Amino acid sequence: MATRNRQWRLKRHPDPGEMMNRDLVAWGEGHIEEVPRGGILVRTHCLATSPAQFGYMKPGPGLFEKIHIGDVIRARGIGQVMESRTPDFSVGDIVTGSLGWQDYTCLHPESAGQSIKTVQKEPHAISPLHVTLGTLGVDGYTAYCELINVAKPKKGDTLLVTAAAGGIGSLVGQVGRILGCCVIGIAGTDEKCAWICDDLGFDAAINYKTEDIDVRLAQLAPQGIDVFFDNVGGEIMNTALAHIALHARVIICGWISTDYKEGPIPGPSNYTHLLLKRASMIGTIVWDHIEDWPDASRHLRQWVKDGVLIPTEDITEGLENAPDALASLFTGGNRGNKIIRVAPDPEGLGIL
Ligand SMILES: NC(=O)c1ccc[n+]([C@@H]2O[C@H](COP(=O)([O-])OP(=O)(O)OC[C@H]3O[C@@H](n4cnc5c(N)ncnc54)[C@H](OP(=O)(O)O)[C@@H]3O)[C@@H](O)[C@H]2O)c1
């Protein structure tokens, strides 16, 4: 049994305007906790990244619990049960949930430590585990549930997706394409624009760093955008609002372009188009749709099996590189769903 537990802990809160960087976290080794009765010990295999993790490092109010100085950085992950003192889990089970930037997580039955309720068994886990965690996990559920349940796209609709070459965006665009939408993506490099069109089947792409989004949207969507799935907020969102179609649905999934801005974020001046086009704009969180996750899981799995949904995981090797992996989301250094591989997949898993 291993005794080393490598960990990243929060060293200090970010200063105002400071970007995610290694100086915020401290690398070290902790002990592996003794598993209490009713608890389990999980070996981490892969960790997901999300811009929200950086938000947890900032002090002040937030939707989810903050990470305090000295805490292990919280992260959703996939791992294998190494020790179990509860009949609910067996050694060898694959689980997903809140594991953190560490090799081993001890999950407790009650609030004395990290709760076992934050993880769930993954009886259909397949190798590679990073696909089970990402495309077939919460990122896939976000794309599927927020697009299908909330935006309700119809065949022939024009769908606009921002951060289109990112984790959520690359899946939203593909789901839209599978449903028969005409999909336009906005991304930050020509290489990403080519990737989403050539490999993922988007109909068109706009490089927001080199092209005039206003001009390009007028060319690409002369009848307007029926569904606008926004991951970035700010100026890009405001520009796109001026191009919505009658009865458009605008999904606020995230606002990464304003994550580092201090003070109040200016409202979108083009909000008037919501009235002119009798459109709706709605914020939604993947956790609002938990009851639909099994349905999402079934469809995503089938689509991947049929080869129509391409998993988009972008792997960073090694727990030691976790801070750089998270930082890459804010610099556009990722292409697809950024996952940190902490340990090779265990043997004996099913394959798709
Ligand atoms: N509502 C929910 O339930 C939910 C759940 C998970 C995530 N989210 C949100 O969904 C969004 C995507 O998350 P993700 O984990 O999939 O991250 P991601 O899209 O894989 O990574 C973020 C991407 O945003 C782009 N970006 C960064 N700064 C930007 C800027 N200033 N302007 C425009 N684009 C910028 C970068 O790509 P470029 O190279 O194209 O700039 C980067 O790759 C985030 O806003 C996140 O907070 C929401």
- pLDDT higher for 113 or 104? 104
Mean pLDDT within 224-249: 98
* Pair 260, 324 in one domain: no
Q: Are residues 190 and 247 in the same domain?
A: yes
**Residues near 199 by Cβ (< 8 Å), separated by ≥ 6?**
310
My answer on whether 115 and 28 are in the same domain is: yes
Residue 306 lies in a domain: no
Q: How confident is the model at residue 340, as a pLDDT?
A: 98
CA–CA separation, 193 and 142 (whole Å): 22
Question: How would residue 152 be classed by pLDDT, with cut points 50, 70 and 90?
Answer: very high
Strands 158-161 and 182-187: parallel
For ligand 1, atom 9, which residue shows the shortest CA distance? 254
CATH number at residue 259: 3.40.50.720
Residue 293 lies in a domain: no
- 51 alpha carbon – ligand 1 mean position (Å): 7
Distance of CA 297 from the midpoint of ligand 1 (Å): 22
Q: What is the DSSP letter of 201?
A: -
pLDDT for res 330: 96
**Domains held by the chain: number:** 2
Residue of minimum CA distance from atom 19 in ligand 1 = 166
Confidence tier at 37 by pLDDT (50, 70, 90) = very high
Domain boundary among 287, 321, 340: 287
**Cα–ligand 1 centroid distance for 86 (angstroms):** 38
Looking at per-residue confidence, does 159 or 61 come out higher? Answer: 159
Q: Report how far ligand 1's centroid is from the alpha carbon of 328 (Å).
A: 10
336 part of a folded domain: yes
User: Would you say residue 33 lies in a domain?
Assistant: yes
Q: Which domain holds residue 104?
A: 5-134+311-351
**Phi and psi angles of residue 275, each rounded to the nearest 5 degrees, phi first:** -75, -45
> From atom 30 of ligand 1, which residue's Cα is the shortest distance away?
257
- Is the N-terminal amide bond of 128 cis, ω within 30° of 0? yes
Q: Are residues 111 and 163 in the same domain?
A: no
Asked if residue 299 belongs to a domain, the reply is: no
Whether residue 248 has pLDDT greater than 80:
yes
Say yes or no: 205 and 343 in one domain: no
Atom of ligand 1 nearest to the CA of 252: 1
CATH number at residue 68: 3.90.180.10
| Ligand 1 pocket list (CB less than 6 A) | 50-52, 142, 163, 165-169, 187-189, 192, 231-232, 236, 253-257, 284-286, 329-330, 332, 334, 338
Residue 57 confidence (pLDDT) above 90: yes
Which atom from ligand 1 is nearest to the alpha carbon of 50?
15
Residue whose tokens read 């930082």: 327
Average pLDDT of the chain, as a whole number: 95
Indicate the residue among 236, 271, 287 that finishes a domain: 287
For residue 112, the model assigns a pLDDT of: 62
Residue 302, domain member (yes or no): no
H helix intervals, the chain = 51-57, 129-133, 138-144, 167-178, 190-198, 213-220, 234-241, 272-276, 293-306, 322-331
